[in-house]
Structure 1
């Protein structure tokens, strides 16, 4: 007798499910626009949750195909994202790509592994074009007051003029030329802008 009850319960559950499916199908047919809106909201919520979970798995920035990818072939925006990715790779938090026309000398802002706020000005230049003193002056004039940073660096795919090097040394702004950038990319901790 208990076996028959289980079968009848299974049959009853099946009937309830069929009735429920038919009721939902009728409602959807009668309210197509509302049903479509509900599906869009559910899909958007699912995408939002998926993106949030994905962002929790390591660096959010586009990772280059290989760490040996040539920064000279990147667009200025890709170069900024690449530097942001390097910051996160090496333990920085709150990494933000700021870049743009009114960036006040900042392309990447971050909190370094020791908890200090830092700023990077990115200069993706061709090897023959050197970064001049005016860029060091802009960063020096804004990194503390406009961005609340404790330290600042200018990172380039080229080199710096002697005047830029002398002024940066005097005011404490770190300069990463093509050679030091390559060392940072390869994982040498002392080459990072905050060291």
Structure 2
């Protein structure tokens, strides 16, 4: 049900801009006829009552677009957090969790480390700009790709707690190592996203998370909208 609501929301959000533009053009024509007598407007009182709010809504929407453009221009050349795999290999497990938290924050998610003895399989919990919740399990390997592979048990445990306990939209396992042959197909079946060493390297070097997880679209909202949700 949560997935269906998300799909519907995204469809409405994407179409709302063009619908608003089209509606505004129609309203402008009706108002022009109403106020100038250039051509008769049907239901003149209704045009006055509905037309002005629509024009105000359009003005707010245009201001939002301007704010987004200004934000993008101001942050275009800002330094982005980048880490090398060697840096990540040199961390301990707790430091690795904080590093993953920082990468999520870099991608404009409100993220907090919650790892510990009673974390219920979630080391980092994050909320993106569309209010989608991420439950992230971190598995650091001191020996990197040569370390023990993350097995299917981790995938199953995270799947078991992500939705029920953490109310997560997405579940993600991140490691600087590798996954077992059983873990990969099981994760695909259960809908758990896996970030192994290769993808982690791309993510840590600056590629946004959305470009690595193709089935997961980027948030439609923008940091300039001022709607960041606290984790």
TM-score, structure 2 as length reference: 0.53
Shift of 1:135: 0.2
Greater strand share, structure number: 1
The residue number in structure 2 matching 1:120 is 136
The whole-number CA distance in structure 2 between the counterparts of 1:109 and 1:192 is 17
Q: 1:86 aligns with which of 78, 103, 109?
A: 103
**Matched residue of 1:154: which SS?**
strand
Q: Does the 8 Å contact 2:151/2:179 carry over to 1?
A: yes
The whole-number CA distance in structure 2 between the counterparts of 1:153 and 1:171 is 11
Are 2:104 and 1:104 aligned? no
The whole-number CA distance in structure 1 between the counterparts of 2:171 and 2:196 is 14
Shift of 1:104: 0.7
**Change in CA separation of 1:155 and 1:138 when aligned onto 2, cut-off 3 Å:** same
Shift of 1:106: 0.2
Larger radius of gyration: 1
Question: How many pairs are equivalent?
Answer: 131
The whole-number CA distance in structure 2 between the counterparts of 1:104 and 1:151 is 15
Shift of 1:113: 3.6
The whole-number CA distance in structure 1 between the counterparts of 2:200 and 2:123 is 16
The whole-number CA distance in structure 1 between the counterparts of 2:83 and 2:176 is 15
Shift of 1:115: 2.4
**Matched residue of 1:160: which SS?**
coil
Alignment of structure 1 residues 9-88 onto 2, 5 Å? 67-68=83-84, 70-88=87-105
TM-score, structure 1 as length reference: 0.63
Shift of 1:192: 6.2
RCO greater where, 1 or 2, for CA within 8 Å and sep 6 or more?
2
The answer for unaligned runs of 5 or more in structure 1 is: 1-62
The whole-number CA distance in structure 2 between the counterparts of 1:148 and 1:116 is 9
Find runs of 4+ consecutive structure 1 residues off by over 4 angstroms.
192-195
